[in-house]
Amino acid sequence: MKKRLKVAYFSPLNPQRSGISDYSEELLPRLAARADVDLYVDGFTPSSRELVEGFRVFDYKADPRLLGRLADYDATVYHVGNDQRYHAAIYETALAHPGVVVLHDFALQTFFLELAHQRGDVNLYLDEVEACHGALARAETAETLRRGGTPAFFYEPESRPLNCRLTASAEGVIVHSEWSRARLLQIAPATPVALVSHHVTPDALAVARDDEADENGARGGRRGAVEIASFGFVSTRKGVERTLRALAALKGDYEFRYTLVGGAGDLDVVGQVRALGLADRFSATGYVTLEEFKRRVASADIVVNLRERTVGETSGSACRALAAGCAVVVSNLGWFAELPDDCVVKIEEDDAAETSLRDALARLISDADLRRGLGGRARAYVAAAHSIEKSADEYVAFVREVVARRERRRFVRRVSEALAECGVGEADENLLRAVSAEVARVAPASLFKDEV
C-alpha cells in the first residue's frame, strides 16, 4: 500500500488578490483528501477560516528557519506566476529548495522587470537575462534599459521566457497547456513536465442560468439588453480597448451592456468609454470577491477574454465562464487555441482582429440560440476535461513520480560510486553497459514509484 505523501505547499492565498489564490483555495481541500499538506506563507495569515482551521500554516517570512523543515517533506510544491508581490519569495525559495513548480505563466518577463523596479536593482532582471541568454544579451538589454526603453525580450515571451533557471533546477514542473508543455521540453529537457488542466469546480458547473429572461435570451439588465463582460485584471494586452471600439460600432443596432469585472490596471478605460459614447452601456466593478465573481459570471450572456499576446497563461476566469455555459470569445493563441472550436468563438490576432471581433459580437448579441449552443457544449467539455477531482489526482500522481525519480537517482548514484571505488572507469565500456542493463532490470522506475 502506498504511503500518504507529506507535502509543503507554497502559493498566494486570500487576502492576496490573485487568481492563483482562488485556484489554490479550491484545490487544497481536494489535495488534503489525498496527501498531508502544510501551507507556507510569506508574511500574512490566510483569510479563509477553512484553511486556517484545516491546515497547519507556517509563516516563513516571520521565521525563515522554518524553511529548514522542507527536507522533512516528501515534496514541496511552488506556485509561480508573474505578480512579483506574491511570488518573489516563492521563486527564491524554489531556487534554494528545489521541488515541484506549478508554472501559471510560462514567461516571467513581467515578474523580473517589476521585481527589479520594486527593489531598485536592475541586476535582478539582467542576471536572469544572462543566465538564460548569455553575456551579450545582458549587455544589449542593459543598454536598452539605460536609454529608458523596453527590452526586446519583453515582446518575445515565447522565445525569451526567462524561466530557464527555475525550470532547470526544479524536480518537476506542472503546466496547464500543451503550448507550455511543448516549449518547456525544449528549455529544460531533463526536467519532468506534467500537463494538468486548469480545474473547474462542481459549484462552477452547477451555476443556474435563466435563458428565458426575455425574447432575446438575455439574463440580466434592461429588457432586451444582452449582458457582455470581461473578467480579471485589466491590462493593455487583454484587448479591452479593441472590445470597446467594436462595441461602439454596434451600439446603434444592438441592445447590450458591457461590464469589466476585476482590478484596475494600466488603462484609462473611463476616458475611452466617454470618448466612444458608451457611458450608458458600460460599468466597471473593480476587484470583487470570488463569490461576487461567480455571480457576475452567472449573469453574463457573452464573455470576452482576449489576449493580444500570451505569456503562456491559462485563464481561470475563462474556465469559470465555460463551466457556467457562457458564450466565450477568445484569441486564437496559446492555451486559448487549444479549446475546442465548437465551444468558443476564436479571434485571429492579425490585422483584421478588430473587424472579426465586431462581427463575432454582432452574431452573438443577435442570436440567443448560437449563444446557448456554444455555452452548452462548453459546459460539457470542461466538465469532462477540467474536473477538479481529476486535477487533484494528477497532482498527486505527478508528485509521486517526482519522488520516485529522486529515489531512483539516489540508487543509481550509489551504484556509480561503488563502481568508482572498485576502479571502474569510462574505459570499461562493456562492463558499464552490462551494469546499466542490470540496474534497469532489477530497479525499474516503476519499482520506486510503487513505494511512494
- Give the pLDDT mean for 345-353: 95
pLDDT digits over 178-228, tens only?
Answer: 999 999 999 999 999 999 999 999 999 987 665 544 444 444 433 479 999
Whole-angstrom distance, CA of residue 385 vs CA of residue 199: 9
Q: What confidence score (pLDDT) does residue 314 get?
A: 93
Q: For residues 422 and 109, which has the higher predicted lDDT (pLDDT)?
A: 109
The domain ranges of the chain are 6-195, 202-385
Quickly tell me which residue has 506534467 as its cell: 194
Quickly tell me which residue has 479550491 as its cell: 26
Q: For residues 273 and 442, which has the higher predicted lDDT (pLDDT)?
A: 273
Q: What confidence score (pLDDT) does residue 84 get?
A: 96
Look at residue 280 and tell me whether its pLDDT is greater than 50.
yes
Angle value at C-alpha 325, between 320 and 331, nearest 5 degrees: 65
- Give the pLDDT mean for 100-109: 96
Contact 8, 38 (CB under 8 A): yes
Q: 202-385: which CATH number, 3.40.50.2000, 3.40.50.150, 3.40.50.1370, 3.40.630.10?
A: 3.40.50.2000
* 403: exposed, middle or buried (Cβ count in 10 Å: 0-12, 13-18, 19+): buried
Q: What confidence score (pLDDT) does residue 234 get?
A: 78
C-alpha cell at 422: 572498485
Is CATH 3.40.50 the right assignment for the domain spanning 6-195?
yes
Side-chain half-sphere exposure of 6, counting CA atoms within 13 A? 7
- Give the closest residue to 281 by CA, choosing from 307, 318, 317, 243: 243
Contact 95, 166 (CB under 8 A): yes
Question: Which ranges constitute the DSSP H helices of 254-387?
Answer: 269-275, 290-299, 316-323, 334-337, 353-366, 368-385
- Give the closest residue to 98 by CA, choosing from 198, 192, 199: 192
- The continuous run of DSSP H or E covering 450 comes out as helix 445-451
C-alpha cell at 278: 458608451
Whole-angstrom distance, CA of residue 130 vs CA of residue 20: 29
Q: What confidence score (pLDDT) does residue 287 get?
A: 85
Look at residue 396 and tell me whether its pLDDT is greater than 90.
yes
Q: What confidence score (pLDDT) does residue 411 get?
A: 54
Angle value at C-alpha 160, between 129 and 234, nearest 5 degrees: 105
Axis-axis angle for helices 316-323, 368-385 (nearest 10): 110
Contact 365, 226 (CB under 8 A): yes
C-alpha cell at 372: 446557448
- Give the pLDDT mean for 390-418: 79
pLDDT digits over 137-178, tens only?
Answer: 999 999 999 999 988 878 888 888 999 999 999 999 999 999
Topology agreement, domain 6-195 and domain 202-385: yes
- Rounded to two decimals, what is the model's pTM? 0.86
Question: Which ranges constitute the DSSP H helices of 97-239?
Answer: 109-119, 123-133, 135-146, 164-169, 178-187, 202-205
Whole-angstrom distance, CA of residue 151 vs CA of residue 344: 34
Contact 10, 96 (CB under 8 A): no
Parallel, antiparallel, or unpaired for β 302-305 and 172-175?
Answer: unpaired
Contact 220, 200 (CB under 8 A): no
Q: What confidence score (pLDDT) does residue 158 get?
A: 82
Residues 6+ apart with CB under 8 A from 139: none
